[in-house]
Structure 1
Amino acid sequence: MNSKNQITHSAFSLLSLIAVVFILFILKPLIMPILYASILAIMIFPVQMFLEKKLRCNRLFASLFSITIIFCVTALLGIMVYFQLNSLINNSEIYIAKLTTLYYNFIEFTYNTLGINKGSSLFTKDLRIESLLKGRFDKIGEFIYQSGSLFSYFVLIPIYLFFFLYYRRFFRLFYYKLFRSKPKAFLNRMIRKVYKIQQNYLLGLIKVIIIVGCLNSIGLLLLGIGNPFFFGFFAAFLLLIPYVGIFIGSILPAIIALATKDSAWYAFGVIAIFGFIQFLEGNFITPKITGSKVSINPFIAILSLIVFSMLWGIAGMIVALPITATLKIIFDNTPEYHAYGFLIGESLDEYLQSKATIRLKKWKKIRKSKHE
């Protein structure tokens, strides 16, 4: 291939990538329900197989029963969240009054410490924190209600989920026809790999959420923060947004600690406990439970979170790692894309060592072989 053809090919590839990204961005309302339905289908598939193979249930009944389980769990969680948020809204006036007092006390302390003139604009009553806070608690429910399309998430997802479970053999045949140049054994192996890595990731994530939720709740309970189990598991649930989720989840109980306790150290204690639990989760809990089943190096993981958040917002951050892990499997099994699979995967120790360390190891090996 000459240089002109190479430039043409590179330009075409770049334009194709831009077109794909643009289409994915425009079609978010269509794509997100399908992605969530596929993730839920993988999660509930063992129940589906148990009903069909062990209990000899009809596939239609098994699919409907599986969807009913997901609906009941979702409804239960939704009811619990609703009552907890309603409790926060009912006490919002008390929280606002306490936070306003703390704000002005902090400003007073700052001005006295730094010797700033109290006539400064920062201290005037024109800047009233209650005007910023008042009504914000009442809009929590409205924000949740409006985030995302209710029609897409509560109507389309169950429909897609049903068809993924009920028509799975039909979709498999479509997959065979689409890649008819590939052997069926290879295609089946690809399906099994994608299914296994997605299921391992989801099951591992559920276990991690339960463990972290319990640790968060115990920490809040020891500090005497109200509703410790709600705030603890709420922050743990935000692990769906990797790396930053638990820190976001610590903000609300820290604010409640400021509003209900007589010392700001309780709020710092909440953030410190959640930060320590985040350290345990990232370095011990998640590696122990999931191991290397989702082998994505940290740089690509963070990059995928940023890219998918820019593309689809918070919903994109939730599906970033499962999609990236799936892409790695596809790249690893496609010769022309092996380099991309290598880039996404975990870095071996030999690639993280300095040249001097590598030379030293080689020299030790040579000396050992000479002595032998």
Structure 2
Amino acid sequence: MEAEPAASGAAESPDPRVEARADMHLMRSLLVGIFILMAIYALSFARAFFMPVILAFLLALTLTPIVRFLRKHGMPDVISATLLVMLSVSILAVAGYLLSGPVIDLINNTSVIGQQLTERLAQLRRPFERIMEISRQIEGLTQTSQGPGVQRVAMAQSGLLPQAASNLLSAGTSLIIVFVLSLFLLASGTMFYEKIVESFPSLSEKKRALRVVYDVEREISHYLLTVAVINTCLGVVIGLGLWALGMPNPQVWGAAAALLNFLPYIGALITITLVTIIALISFDSISYALLAPAFVLLCDTVEGQFVTPTVVGRRLEINAVAILIAIAFWSWLWGFVGALMAVPLLVVIKVFCDHFGGLSHVGNFLAAQHAAVEEELIEEMDSAAAQTGARRLRRPD
């Protein structure tokens, strides 16, 4: 009888090896968390360095299929890379020159546009006039309660011209870094693949590493180039359609639609909102003015639901929650440029995760839930529930 308590006490004593593994797992998780926080801080602190470098890698990946195609037809990588980078610089310069005038006019006329929009929507403001009157009365009472001794201090903004010049110089330097680094990356050819092969000792590891690198590079470059072409075509179609409807500065809205389409959901909403505002103040009839945003909405719907899934494929689709989180994170970190790079970077991360077994669960989390997979999961859940119910019915009371 006395042996039983001793046996139970021995059974309850913890295994040192289990505790050591748990401590190691906890330590590893803490180190990963610290590394992620340090990486985020580094990306924020050194944004002037990381932003152009990542943009250069994305541009090089976008143009890699063209360089590879020209290489197969006998053109050296240095010549094709130089021509492509020069063509990219020329397109950017011409587009900036053609769009600078209308964009500057829109920025200078923002107050006039706001006044015209207010007058245009005056009939819709009547239900809110009482609320605005109450708000003004409350503001007047608040100012009265502050007393005559309280003064509002307005700080005049000085040094706007030097600040604008500094920002312009910084943007120009970043663009030079992007194009020069992209040129060297494209002209390097197979140098990086040779370095990767030399890093592994055995032949099987060399083949596996080379296969993974080729697959990742091919999928990412194909995706980026395809999406860039689709967005360009979308901008051209929207610009021509708005020109046919009589919208002012249709080239600006076509370029905005092409650029903002790199922001899924949010970019289309911004484009539709801007086109709606300009259409309401440009046309006399409200019903006719709504044709412009309706056309933009139709184009974005066709592109997002039919064209891109058909051309790019379903395998690289990302779920909407991950996309919105990525856009919010990168816009907080690097502003508008970071928001534009959010989805391409998310696709890069997903492709890498899909090719490495230890990170496959991350790639699975980022993937979109397709209708067929969802129906299959529902059928499996219904089958499991039916089997559970049958077992309960067969169970004796």
TM more than 0.5 = yes
Counterpart selection for 1:9 from 23, 28, 32? 28
CA distance in 1, matches of 2:225, 2:165: 26
Shift of 1:119: 6.8
Question: Residues 155 and 102 from structure 1, CA distance in 2 versus in 1: closer, same or farther, beyond 3 angstroms?
Answer: closer
Q: How does 1:202-351 map to 2 (within 5 A)?
A: 202-347=224-369
Q: Cα distance, 1:117 vs. partner?
A: 9.6
Within the alignment, does 1:156 sit opposite 2:210 as a pair?
A: no
TM-score calculated relative to the size of structure 1: 0.76
CA separation of 1:173 and 1:25: change in aligned 2, threshold 3 A? farther
User: What TM-score does the superposition give when structure 2 sets the normalisation length?
Assistant: 0.72
User: Following the alignment from structure 1 to structure 2, what is the Cα–Cα distance between the partners of residues 242 and 147?
Assistant: 28
In 2, distance between residues paired with 1:115 and 1:242?
Answer: 36
Q: Distance in 2 between matches of 1:188 and 1:213?
A: 37
| Structure 1: distance between partners of 2:313 and 2:256 | 24
One-letter amino acid of the counterpart of residue 313, structure 1: G
Give the match for residue 130 of structure 1: none
1:170 aligns with 2:185: no
Tell me the amino acid that sits aligned with residue 185 of structure 2: F
* CA contact 2:99–2:251 (8 Å) conserved in 1: no
Q: Please tell me the residue identity of whatever aligns with 2:267.
A: G
- Work out the CA distance in 2 between the residues paired with 1:247 and 1:114: 25
Alignment of 1:67-216 (within 5 A): 67-86=85-104, 88=106, 96-97=111-112, 99-104=114-119, 106=121, 110-111=125-126, 116=130, 146=167, 149-177=170-198, 183-216=205-238
- 342-351 or 245-254: which moved more? 342-351
- The 8 Å contact of residues 219 and 351 in structure 2, kept in 1 or not, is answered as no
Tell me the CA shift for residue 325 of structure 1. Answer: 2.2
Superposition deviation, residue 66 in structure 1: 2.6
Letter matched to residue 247 of structure 2: I
Q: Which amino acid aligns with 1:103?
A: T
For 1:252 and 1:55, the matched residues in 2 are separated by 47
What runs of 5+ residues in structure 2 fail to find an aligned partner? 1-17, 141-159, 387-397
Which among 65, 71, 76 is matched to residue 83 of structure 2? 65
Aligned to 2:156: none
- Distance in 2 separating the partners of 1:14 and 1:274: 43
For residue 248 of structure 2, give the secondary structure of its aligned residue in structure 1.
coil
For residue 361 of structure 1, report the CA deviation from its aligned partner.
Answer: 6.4
**Gap change, CA 1:86 and 1:345, over 3 Å in 2:** closer
Q: Which residue of 2 aligns with 1:369?
A: none
- Shift of the 29–251 alpha-carbon distance from structure 1 to 2, 3 Å rule, reads same
Distance 2:44 2:376 in 1: 41
Question: Which structure would you say has the larger Rg?
Answer: 2
Write out per-residue CA displacement over residues 267-291 of structure 1, whole angstroms, 9 at most, x where no aligned residue: 5443333233322222112112212
Q: Is the 8 A contact 1:208 1:289 kept in 2?
A: no
Contact 1:255 1:267 in 2 (8 A): no
Q: How many percent of aligned residue pairs carry the same amino acid?
A: 21
TM-superposed CA distance for 1:261, in Å, is: 2.1
Q: 1:105 to 1:195 in 2, by over 3 A?
A: closer
What per-residue deviation string (whole Å, max 9, x for no partner) do you get for residues 289-335 of structure 1?
Answer: 21225243333233322222222222222222222222223223333
The amino acid across from 2:125 in the alignment is T
* Structure 2 CA distance for partners of 1:86 and 1:324, relative to 1, 3 Å: closer
Describe the SS at the equivalent of 2:247: coil
Mean CA deviation greater in 48-57 or 282-291: 48-57
Hey, what's the Cα distance between the residues in 2 that align with 1:240 and 1:99?
A: 27
Where does residue 380 of structure 2 map in the other structure?
Answer: 358
Q: Cα gap change, 1:84/1:13 in structure 2, threshold over 3 Å: closer, same or farther?
A: same
* Closer/same/farther in 2, CA of residues 149 and 241 from structure 1, 3 Å limit: farther
Deviation at 1:239, TM superposition (A): 0.6
CA distance in 2, matches of 1:56, 1:271: 45
1:10 and 1:325 map into 2 onto residues whose CA distance is: 25
Alpha-carbon RMSD across the aligned residues, in angstroms, is 3.7
Q: 1:151 to 1:233 in 2, by over 3 A?
A: closer
Q: CA 1:120–1:30 in 2, change beyond 3 Å: closer, same or farther?
A: same
| Equivalent in 53, 60, 67 of residue 48 of structure 1 | 67
**Which ranges in structure 1 are unaligned for 5 or more consecutive residues?**
127-138, 365-372
1:156 offset after TM fit, Å? Answer: 0.7
Count of paired positions: 343
Q: Does the C-alpha gap of structure 1 residues 147 and 345 become closer, same or farther in structure 2, counting only changes over 3 Å?
A: farther
2:105, 2:290 → 1: CA distance?
24
1:182-237: per-residue Cα shift (whole Å, max 9, x none)?
A: 71211222222222222222232133224422442354245321222431342132
Query: Quick one: distance in 1 between partners of 2:377 and 2:222?
Result: 36
Alpha carbons of 1:81 and 1:211: their partners in 2 closer, same or farther (altered >3 Å)?
same
SS of 2:125 mapped into structure 1: helix
Q: Please say which of residues 349-358 and 303-312 is displaced more in the overlay.
A: 349-358
